[in-house]
Amino acid sequence: MSMDMPLARALGARIQAIDFAALPDAAVGWAKIGILDTVGVTLAGASEPCARIAARVLGAAPGPALIFGTSRGAAPPDAALINGTAAHALDFDDCSNTLGGHPSAPMLPALFALAEGRTVSGADLIAAYVAGFETETRIARAVNFHHYEKGWHPTATLGTFGAAAACAHLLRLTPAQTATALAIAASFASGIKANFGTMTKPLHVGHCARNGLTAALLAAEGFTANHDVFDHAQGFFLVFNGAGNFDPDAVLRDWAAPFDIQHPGLAIKQYPCCGSTHPAIDAALALRAAHGLTAEQIEHVTSWTHPRRLAHTNRPQPGSALDAKFSVQYCLARALAEGRVVLSHFMGDAYADPAIRALMQRIEAAPHPAMAMADTAHFGAEVRVLTKDGRSLVQQVDRPLGRTAENPLPAAILEAKFLDCAGRSLRPDAAAGVLDLLRRLDGLADVAVLRDALAEGVA
């Protein structure tokens, strides 16, 4: 590697150089959107079985860090795992094209847990979040998309570095200590895509949040780790990706110029299911609205998506509610039959609805012939509906609404999503109060006020 110091040390210096006062307005604005959205989906996921089981197995002994959706506290590492699992339980959390996964859920539960017992301003939280976001997405530039296609779950493998960097920034560690936190995180990095569609996928995120927090706390106490962890012949890049399948120079190239959260930016989900299904959903909803389609009129549906996205969403017979979140056939059937895709579609045994199952039998999913695997614009889809009266209706979507900063989700939809999600745990007045605090996050002197509002507002 052509640098005078280990990559972890160079990263440590850059992470600690990030200062809220110097952040561009756009970076602060997008950070507030990511934090708001993540708090909402965590509140929605708090009552899901995976989060409850995690809390029960851990024992969740009383401690200072809030377990979202309750008024109870736990030790910070336990709270990070439980809340991290809840944040990803519904697969409704934000995405990043660069990461090839979900950037905020691995970091924010760790940051909220770490903030307990400390005076942390909203500005402190935002700066730490941006530092973690930049770290995980820059490492992603070095390893993707080979890393993603090999079968690693980047949300977890790379999000561990984001969580460690964010926590190191909030703790104001030295650059050397931050490098140690990243080196520890490299040994914690894990998560394979074979577990998509099960409770283990959100557990990846909880595990990631706890591990990133633990790595930073260990580094703060003088724990040791090898700063050559990225550069070593048996280090992260070579072990996870293999020789010739990564570009280490991409990590520091154009660091923060602009911040990745500005460009390409966040993807905020409209639908509570795998983001790889969203462009097809958008296309189906557009066809339904434009032509007044009903399920009874449909003879056959063909859905073409990018082969990278089809690999884990071609599930014609989902066997559980979680599995249905990764079935493009199921998501399209709901969109075409009902004109919406909402949380209730992935609750209980909704996935087994006989009418939806019947429509799914008429839906075929295939890789789009014009979307190459090497392409980085991999969130397009095309849907064709053949009607029983002989019409062929086609809609193409280059990227779903909310995908990247250039195609943002309108504020009204974002806030409506938040209130809907938060309402699963909080009273309506409390949800509105938390929303107001999050709108003003950069002006809060101490985020403890947010913690109190969350604890006191439980329905």
Domains and CATH numbers, the chain: 7-267 (1.10.4100.10), 275-397 (3.30.1330.120)
* pLDDT value of position 225: 98
pTM of the prediction?
0.89
Q: Let me know if 429 is exposed, middle or buried by CB neighbors in 10 A (0-12, 13-18, 19+).
A: exposed
* pLDDT value of position 309: 74
Check if the beta carbon of residue 199 is closer than 8 Å to that of residue 52.
no
User: How far is residue 325's CA from residue 120's CA, in Å, rounded to a whole number?
Assistant: 36
Q: Is the peptide bond before 24 cis (omega within 30 degrees of 0)?
A: no
| H or E stretch at 154 | helix 154-157
Check if the beta carbon of residue 162 is closer than 8 Å to that of residue 133.
yes
User: How far is residue 75's CA from residue 98's CA, in Å, rounded to a whole number?
Assistant: 32
Q: Which residues of the chain have pLDDT under 50?
A: 1-2, 373
DSSP structural state of residue 426: B
* pLDDT value of position 135: 98
Check if the beta carbon of residue 339 is closer than 8 Å to that of residue 288.
yes
Per the rule left: phi > 0, alpha: psi between -120 and 50, beta: everything else, 397 is beta
Give the list of residues 6+ apart from residue 332 with CB closer than 8 angstroms, or none.
277, 280, 281, 284, 301, 303, 363, 383
